[in-house]
Amino acid sequence: MKILFALSLIVALSASAQVAPPRPLPPVPSPAQLAWQQLEYYAFLHFGMNTFTDHEWGEGRAHPDNFNPTAFDARQWARVVKAAGMRGIIITAKHHDGFCLWPSATTDYSVKASKWRDGKGDVLKELSAACQEFGLKFGVYISPWDRNHPLYGTPKYNAVYKAQWRELLTNYGEVFESWLDGANDGKKRMTYDFWGFFSTIKSLQPQTIIFSDAGPDIRWVGNEKGFAGETNWSPRDNEGTFPGFADEKQLNVGDENGTTWLPAECDVSIRPGWFYHANEDDKVKSVEQLMNIYYGSVGRNANLLLNLGVDRRGLINENDERRLLEFKAAREAEFSNKISVRRATASNVRGAAFNAAKAVDDNAQSYWATTDGVTEAALELDFGAEVELNRLLIQEHIALGQRVKKFSVSIWRNGAYENIASATTIGYKRLLRLPLVKTNKLKLTIEAAKASPMLNHLAVYRAP
């Protein structure tokens, strides 16, 4: 009997293990795009000549000696960013004024020409080393628009700009993100060789994620306020687009049937300006504003690139540092009280390997999935007792494509399910702030999906 039982168990287990996962639904992310998405939150640092001239868009005429950070400390930047719970730093290696924070061979307008460290300083060298020391990713922004370079406006400038990328991508270790905009001069308009820029970048570091209005790896979210669309598809119709061509609405929501995987990044500054201005010391965004941004970006299937303007000392200002740490504590409080689930069940399950429990376990690789063709399904969480809850976290298994178009949340009250929220896309991560309710059961209903839905995470919290 025992042997028979064991045998049938083995047969049953291997049968369930044989249920194939759903087929990918193109477009799907590359491994590098997937790894990028998991970073969620990292820092933008605006620092350069503008810091010292109190400008946002310098004209490229300020004398290099203006650049003189008196207490420059890239390790302080990395320490603060790390303590804030951010996973990397993208630095403005060159902004529109053309001043390079590294001793570039492509121009006379750089740290090399300044008195700072007798012209021997290299911001990028110190920063990339500090990022490595603190376990942070290191990324760079080089503005194509250059208001100083004598060749700007001529086709020869394209080679200069490529050479700048070559220097950065050769001498400073791994660059996780290569950031560029489509900014162009109003009078001296340049025809940029964007496709040449991209291939230069990729030939040097194939794994780097290129950001622009048009990808090729990730897209601008269409505003500088930190908010992705409430509907936010990572697929996008990208054909015919280029950096500087910004359909803000489309960038904000993506395209349900887009053919390119192009997830959104939300860039926003902690202060009104991108660069440091002493008169904005009391204009650091509040924890509440930052939290709204967090729910509007990371909570809507986008990554958050939060900007800090390094000050004239060459330090992250203490006001920004304090706020970042308060924000980190507030975020931790939001998600520290996870409600335990006694039992998860689903209206449809593809097979034992894809059952409802896979959505509530802590294994990011396992997921609940339905049978092919089943695009409407519900997942029920039974807490085993009455609990209070007000936050929901949902993650799709995006490695096989983004699928969910519409879902709702209901709770068990007085013998029936009652709707408490409805929303559209999920994607890599969706966070919902729900009204504070008491219940012993919650139901997530997938109301529409492009193909069988797959969730690798569903969690419920009681936030303060």
CB of 267 to ligand FUL, least distance (A): 5
- Beta strand 302-309 with 260-261 is unpaired
| Closest to 453 measured CA to CA, from 382, 354, 361, 380 | 354
> Which residues have CB under 8 Å from 323's CB, separation 6+?
270, 284, 285, 286, 287, 290
Binding mask 34-73 for ligand FUL (x = CB under 6 A): ----------------------x-----------------
Q: How far is the CB of 222 from ligand FUL (least distance, A)?
A: 13
Q: How far is the CB of 67 from ligand FUL (least distance, A)?
A: 17
Our CA angle for 253, 254, 255, nearest 5°, is 120
Q: Considering Cα of 428, then 369, then 449, then 258, what sign does the dihedral take?
A: positive
Strands (E), 95-176: 137-142
Beta carbon nearer to ligand FUL, 177 or 267: 267
In angstroms, give the least distance from the CB of 323 to ligand FUL. 19
Shortest Cβ 237–ligand FUL spacing (Å): 23
Q: How far apart are CA 102 and CA 111, in angstroms?
A: 6
267 touches ligand FUL (CB under 6 A): yes
Nearer to ligand FUL, 156 or 283 (CB): 283
Residue 274 lies near ligand FUL (rule: CB under 6 A): yes
Tokens 């193909």 correspond to 451
Q: For ligand FUL, which residue has the nearest CB?
A: 181
Q: Burial level of 101, CB count in 10 A (0-12/13-18/19+)?
A: buried
Q: Which amino acid is at 254?
A: G
What is the closest distance, in whole angstroms, from the C-beta atom of residue 181 to ligand FUL in the complex?
Answer: 4
The count of residues interacting with ligand FUL (CB under 6 A) is 5
Residue 220 found at the interface with ligand FUL (CB under 6 A): no
Q: Between 56 and 447, whose beta carbon lies closer to ligand FUL?
A: 56
Q: Which CB, 109 or 368, lies closer to ligand FUL? A: 109
Query: Whole-number minimum distance, CB 216 to ligand FUL, in Å?
Result: 18
Question: Does the protein bind ligand FUL through residue 396 (CB under 6 A)?
Answer: no
Give the SS3 label for residue 172: coil
Show the site string, 154-193: x = touches ligand FUL by CB under 6 A, - = not.
Answer: ---------------------------x-x----------
Rg value, the chain, Cα: 25
Q: Name the residue nearer to ligand FUL (CB basis): 267 or 380.
A: 267
Question: Where in 152-273 does DSSP place strands (E)?
Answer: 177-179, 209-212, 218-220, 235-236, 260-261, 264-269
Nearest-approach distance from CB 319 to ligand FUL, in angstroms: 20
Q: Which is nearer to ligand FUL, 183 or 421 (CB)?
A: 183
User: By the 8 A CB rule, do 455 and 349 touch?
Assistant: no
Distance CA 180, CA 282 (A): 30
Kindly list the residues in this chain that would bind ligand FUL in the complex (CB under 6 A). Answer: 56, 181, 183, 267, 274
